[in-house]
Structure 1
Amino acid sequence: MAPEEWGRFVQSYVGRPEDFETWAWKKLKIPEEMLYIAPYEPPPRQVNGDFLCTYHGCFNVYKNKQGRENHFNVAHLGFRAQCPDCNTVLMNQSSLPRHKRDNCTMRKKAQ
């Protein structure tokens, strides 16, 4: 839904503020069982210091929390970053400075 559509949608509500969420879920025809999905909470560090991926069937192990979170975001959630100069798709946002410095085709053409 585009921001303008969302604005019109919110303004079309005429009930009590505390009832907005229930109204919105019904109006958008979102299944009620979606209300009960638990938010993702990364598991704590293991006794041996490793960080395990908790995605079902994934047995990857990381030495630091950031490594596990990068893996989860890319492999299981499909997050990616895009170079604004050449539109190359990168694994994560932290790869962007190195890409721009070493690999960006648009920057190399400009030099």
Structure 2
Amino acid sequence: MKKFVKFIAVGLGGTLFSYFCYLLLLNFLTYQQSYFVSYALGIVYSYIFNSRFVFKAGLSIKKFLIFPSVYILQYLFSASGLFWLVDKLHLNASYAPIVVSVVTIPITFVVSKLVLETTETRAN
């Protein structure tokens, strides 16, 4: 439970970081392009802070390369959700990523834990 609470804290920080990047990028790109770039930046943030703070795992190139796989499926799910929320349900594009993020938190925790802790165990 303690790890999940830390994960939520890191996730909140990462979500805010990504969201502010998204809002900034909306000035220059479409909402889907803005979401893609801010999402990628959020993955880097998440890898660093989840590895060090939540799961107490070391940073490595191997884990850094594996970790984004957690988010590939989540991205596809999130981008689809974002499309539905914005284009079909007409939710404001500034708020839609918040809704998408809340839905994906539990799934992301479990898969991140598996990748970071299992990869750490195998590396030793």
* Global fold match (TM > 0.5): no
The structure having more radius of gyration, on CA atoms, is 1
Task: Return the structure number with greater helix share.
Answer: 2
Higher relative contact order (CA 8 A, sep 6+): 2
When normalised by structure 2's length, the TM-score is 0.22
